[in-house]
């Protein structure tokens, strides 16, 4: 708590702290997916390097240090799990997020047992990828003692505390989850599907479940508005929602 600073001071520092110094390695063999992910991650403010295969990835992890590695398990010239083993053998502090089309639960379990931080199954929402990445980096780099600043908003993830200009905003767990999800994707349009799956697990049949997102968003908006944080969440008609930076 002693590290907490007035939100005004952190307002410009926050995004810098979180993103711009973060260096990622993207290990993905599919060119089209690789380029799209690269673009999205760079838009998120990360420094990203790519490795299309096992050998390049192996070379890179031996030579450089990364904050987080996005790892595809099925590579044409090797198994991503072996890269993970190599990383752990080197005592690397890098976070590892497994991305795999192999929905084999065994692989996930093996990956997590080997020390991966999280996993995502292809296809996934880019916004979900952002949220997971943020969570990993937050845990790894700051042991959770990190705060997120967005305009007048200050969030202490460790304490699950949300402040607007120093004033605490009481949120339910789902509303808080939703806010954190939005904060992981500032300025990005989040689809209804992505939000629904984030809140309810990825097996929810989203098509007929959007009504509950609306309820939660409405409540979250109202609570932020009560504290003077007006018009932060914009509705993109027929698409989804966006955390607006203006």
Q: Does 11 bind another protein (CB under 8 A)?
A: no
Minimal distance in Å, beta carbon 104 to another protein? 7
> Helices 192-200 and 173-184, interaxial angle, to 10°?
130
Residue span 12-31 as binding mask against another protein, x where in contact by CB under 8 A, dash where not: ------------------x-
Residue span 181-210 as binding mask against another protein, x where in contact by CB under 8 A, dash where not: -------xx-xxxx----xxx-xxxxxxx-
- Toward another protein, which CB reaches closer, 125 or 223? 125
Residue span 120-159 as binding mask against another protein, x where in contact by CB under 8 A, dash where not: -xxxxxxx--------------------------------
- CA–CA dist 214, 203 (Å, integer): 19
Find the DSSP H helices in the chain: 7-10, 13-15, 31-43, 54-63, 80-89, 105-113, 126-142, 173-184, 192-200, 211-226
In the chain, count H helices and then E strands.
10, 14
Minimal distance in Å, beta carbon 208 to another protein? 6
Q: Taking Cα atoms as reference points, which of 117, 119, 141, 144 lies closest to residue 129?
A: 119
Q: Tokens standing for 21?
A: 């110094």
List contacts with another protein (CB under 8 A). 30, 32-33, 36-37, 39-40, 43, 101-106, 121-127, 174, 188-189, 191-194, 199-201, 203-209, 211-212, 215-216, 236-240
């Amino acid at each position: 708590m002693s590290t907490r600073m007035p939100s005004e001071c952190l307002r410009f520092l926050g995004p810098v702290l979180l993103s711009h110094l973060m260096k990622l390695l993207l290990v993905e063999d599919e060119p089209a997916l690789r380029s799209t992910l690269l673009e999205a991650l760079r838009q998120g403010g990360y420094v990203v390097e790519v490795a299309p295969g096992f050998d390049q990835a192996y070379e890179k992890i031996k030579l450089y240090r990364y904050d987080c590695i996005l790892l595809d398990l099925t590579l044409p010239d090797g198994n991503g799990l072996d890269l993970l083993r190599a990383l752990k053998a080197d005592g690397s502090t890098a976070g590892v997020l497994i991305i795999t089309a192999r929905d084999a639960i065994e692989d996930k379990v093996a990956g997590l047992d080997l020390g991966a931080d999280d996993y995502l199954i292809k296809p996934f929402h880019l916004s979900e990828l952002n949220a997971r990445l943020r969570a990993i980096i937050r845990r790894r780099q700051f042991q959770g003692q990190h705060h997120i600043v967005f305009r007048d908003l200050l969030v202490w993830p460790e304490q699950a505390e949300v402040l607007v200009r120093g004033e605490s905003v009481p949120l339910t767990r789902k509303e808080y989850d939703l806010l954190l999800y939005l904060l992981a994707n500032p300025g990005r349009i989040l689809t209804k599907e992505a939000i629904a799956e984030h809140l309810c697990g990825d097996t929810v049949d989203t098509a007929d479940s959007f009504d509950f997102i609306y309820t939660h968003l409405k409540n979250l908006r109202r609570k932020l508005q009560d504290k003077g944080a007006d018009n932060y969440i914009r509705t993109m008609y027929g698409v989804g929602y966006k955390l607006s930076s203006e």
